[in-house]
Structure 1
Amino acid sequence: MTTTVVEGAALNASDRCDRCGAQAYVRVTMTSGFELLFCAHHSKEHADKLKQVALEIHDETQRIS
């Protein structure tokens, strides 16, 4: 399976990481249509596995200064 990084609706400050509650900068859409949100730390931690199972990955970590 190929993972695609897409441009979608921008994440905002109310979007929170499903793992720790920090601001989310990554949205992962699964093949089921279910979405997971991750902070930069947790998206990096789980990146290898997410790339294997995700339909789409929307990454806004470049916004972090």
Structure 2
Amino acid sequence: MTFAYAHSEPPAPEALEHSPGWFYGGVTGTTTEPLTAADRCDRCGAQAYVRVVLPVGELLFCAHHAREHAPKFAELATHVHDETDRLLAEHGAGAGAAH
């Protein structure tokens, strides 16, 4: 039997016996879709360059907040998709810039 429900709300209790659970819908451990200008940092709203996939969802961070929170999410993440190298290309940093 298939149960249909909105991903934003939990299913009826009897549906939990037959479904993987509403909280985990659509989560994968290795998403590598490129981040776009529409992807925003969950801390400040700036453009996101890092996607942190957790066992129960994902977080998006700008480069600043990714560095700030790296020690904590490194303990929990199942995958980290880092596109911070795009900052150099997109914002005209010289070829001799130190990393």
TM-score range, shorter chain: 0.7 to 0.9
Identical positions, percent = 58
Larger relative contact order, structure 1 or 2 (CA cutoff 8 Å, min sep 6): 1
Superposition misfits of 4+ residues, deviation over 4 angstroms: none
**Residue number in structure 2 paired with 1:3:** none
The answer on 1:26 being equivalent to 2:50 is yes
Corresponding residue to 1:39 among 57, 62, 65: 62
User: 3-state DSSP class of the match of 1:21?
Assistant: coil
1:2-51: per-residue Cα shift (whole Å, max 9, x none)?
xxxx671000000000000000000001012x110000000000001110
Bigger radius of gyration, 1 or 2?
A: 2
Structure 1 distance, partners of 2:31, 2:78, is 13
The structure with the greater share of residues assigned to strand is: 1
TM-score, normalised on structure 2? 0.57
User: 3-state DSSP class of the match of 1:24?
Assistant: coil
Corresponding residue to 1:53 among 56, 62, 76: 76
Over the aligned positions, Cα root-mean-square deviation in angstroms equals: 1.3
Paired positions, count: 59
Unaligned segments of structure 2, at least 5 residues: 1-29, 89-99
TM-score, normalised on structure 1? 0.86
